[in-house]
A and B are shown apart, each in its own frame.
Chain A
Amino acid sequence: MLLRLAWAALTRHRSRTLLAVLGVAVSAAMLLDMVMLSSGMRASFRNMLLAKGFQLRLAPKGTLPFDTDATIPDATNVIRTLHAIPGVQTVSPVLGGQLHVSLGSRTVTATAIGIDPAVQGDYDITAGRAPASPDEFVANDTFIRDARVSLGDTVAAAAGYDPQLRAFAGRRTLRLVGRAHFLYMAGDQRAAAVPIATLQAMQGERARDRASLFMIRAATGANVDTVLASVERALPNVSAVSTETAMRQVDERLSYFRQLALILGAVSLAVGFLLVTTLVSVSVNERLGEIVVMRAIGVARGRVVAQIVLEGVGIMIVGAVVGLALGLVTARYLNSILASFPGLPAAIDFFLFEPHDAWSALGMLVVAGILAGIYPSWRGASLPIATTLRDEAIG
Chain B
Amino acid sequence: MSDAILVEARDLRREYHMGDELVRAVRGVSLDVAKGDYVAIVGPSGCGKSTLLNLLGGIDRPTAGSVSIGGERVDRMRDADATRFRLLRIGFVFQRFYLMPALTAIENVELPMAEAKMGRHERVTRARELLAYVGLGLRYDHRPAQLSGGEQQRVAIARALANAPELLLADEPTGELDAKTGTEMIELLGQVNRDGTTIIVVTHDEDLARAARRVVHMKDGVVIDDRRQDSGV
Smallest Cβ distance from A297 to chain B, in angstroms? 6
B226, CB-defined interface residue at 8 Å: no
Option from B79, B94, B111 in Cβ contact (under 8 Å) with A1: B111
B209, CB-defined interface residue at 8 Å: no
Q: Which one of A289, A290, A293, A297 has the highest number of Cβ atoms from chain B below 10 Å of its Cβ?
A: A297
Q: Which one of A4, A5, A295, A385 has the highest number of Cβ atoms from chain B below 10 Å of its Cβ?
A: A385
Once A4-B107, A295-B83, A393-B95 are accepted as A-B contacts, the answer to whether A387 and B114 lie under 8 Å apart by CB is: no
Flag the segment in B96-104, B192-200, B215-223 that touches A: B96-104
- Chain B: CB-nearest residue to A295: B83
A12, CB-defined interface residue at 8 Å: yes
B80, CB-defined interface residue at 8 Å: yes
B112, CB-defined interface residue at 8 Å: yes
B181, CB-defined interface residue at 8 Å: no
Segment 112-163 of B: residues with Cβ below 8 Å from A: 112, 114-116, 159-160, 163
Option from B86, B94, B100 in Cβ contact (under 8 Å) with A5: B100
Once the chains bind, are A298 and B88 in contact (CB under 8 Å)? yes
A303, CB-defined interface residue at 8 Å: yes
Number of interface residues of A (CB under 8 A): 27
- Chain B: CB-nearest residue to A384: B60
Once the chains bind, are B103 and A8 in contact (CB under 8 Å)? yes
Option from A4, A7, A300, A390 in Cβ contact (under 8 Å) with B115: A300
Segment 27-85 of B: residues with Cβ below 8 Å from A: 50-51, 54, 57, 59-60, 79-80, 83-85
A299, CB-defined interface residue at 8 Å: yes
Once the chains bind, are A393 and B60 in contact (CB under 8 Å)? no
Option from B86, B95, B101 in Cβ contact (under 8 Å) with A297: B86
Contacts of B96 in A (CB 8 A): 289, 392-393
Once the chains are docked, how many angstroms separate the CA of A196 from the CA of B51? 97
- Chain A: CB-nearest residue to B60: A386
B7, CB-defined interface residue at 8 Å: no
Once the chains bind, are B79 and A301 in contact (CB under 8 Å)? yes
Option from B54, B90, B102, B114 in Cβ contact (under 8 Å) with A9: B102
Once the chains bind, are B100 and A290 in contact (CB under 8 Å)? yes
A234, CB-defined interface residue at 8 Å: no
A296, CB-defined interface residue at 8 Å: yes
Contacts of B107 in A (CB 8 A): 1, 4
B110, CB-defined interface residue at 8 Å: yes
Contacts of B84 in A (CB 8 A): 298, 300
B87, CB-defined interface residue at 8 Å: yes
Once the chains are docked, how many angstroms separate the CA of A298 from the CA of B85? 7
A389, CB-defined interface residue at 8 Å: yes
Option from A296, A303, A392 in Cβ contact (under 8 Å) with B86: A296
Option from A7, A296, A390 in Cβ contact (under 8 Å) with B92: A296
- Chain B: CB-nearest residue to A6: B102
- Chain B: CB-nearest residue to A287: B101
Q: Which one of A296, A303, A390 has the highest number of Cβ atoms from chain B below 10 Å of its Cβ?
A: A296
Once the chains bind, are A298 and B86 in contact (CB under 8 Å)? yes
Once the chains bind, are B83 and A8 in contact (CB under 8 Å)? no
Once the chains bind, are A386 and B59 in contact (CB under 8 Å)? yes
Once the chains bind, are A297 and B160 in contact (CB under 8 Å)? yes
Contacts of B94 in A (CB 8 A): 293, 389
Once the chains are docked, how many angstroms separate the CA of A393 from the CA of B45? 13
Contacts of A1 in B (CB 8 A): 103, 107, 110-111, 114
Once the chains bind, are A386 and B51 in contact (CB under 8 Å)? yes
Once the chains bind, are B51 and A4 in contact (CB under 8 Å)? no
Once the chains bind, are B115 and A298 in contact (CB under 8 Å)? yes
Contacts of A386 in B (CB 8 A): 51, 54, 59-60
Smallest Cβ distance from B37 to chain A, in angstroms? 22
Contacts of A389 in B (CB 8 A): 54, 59, 94
Q: Mark A355-395, 1 if CB is under 8 A from B, else 0.
A: 00000000000000000000000000000111101101100
Option from B16, B59, B115 in Cβ contact (under 8 Å) with A296: B59
Once the chains bind, are B80 and A301 in contact (CB under 8 Å)? yes
Contacts of B102 in A (CB 8 A): 4-5, 7-9, 12
Chain A residues packing against B (C-beta within 8 Å):
1, 4-5, 7-9, 12, 289-290, 293-301, 303, 384-387, 389-390, 392-393
Q: Which are the 4 A-B pairs with shortest beta-carbon distances?
A: A298-B87, A8-B102, A386-B60, A293-B98
29 A–B contact pairs at CB < 8 A?
A: A1-B110, A4-B102, A4-B103, A4-B107, A5-B100, A5-B103, A7-B102, A8-B102, A8-B103, A290-B100, A293-B92, A295-B59, A297-B92, A297-B111, A297-B112, A297-B159, A298-B84, A298-B90, A298-B112, A299-B83, A299-B112, A299-B115, A300-B80, A385-B54, A385-B60, A386-B54, A387-B60, A389-B94, A393-B95
Beyond A4-B107, A293-B98, A387-B60: 8 further Cβ-contacts under 8 Å?
A: A1-B103, A290-B100, A293-B92, A296-B59, A297-B160, A298-B86, A298-B116, A386-B54
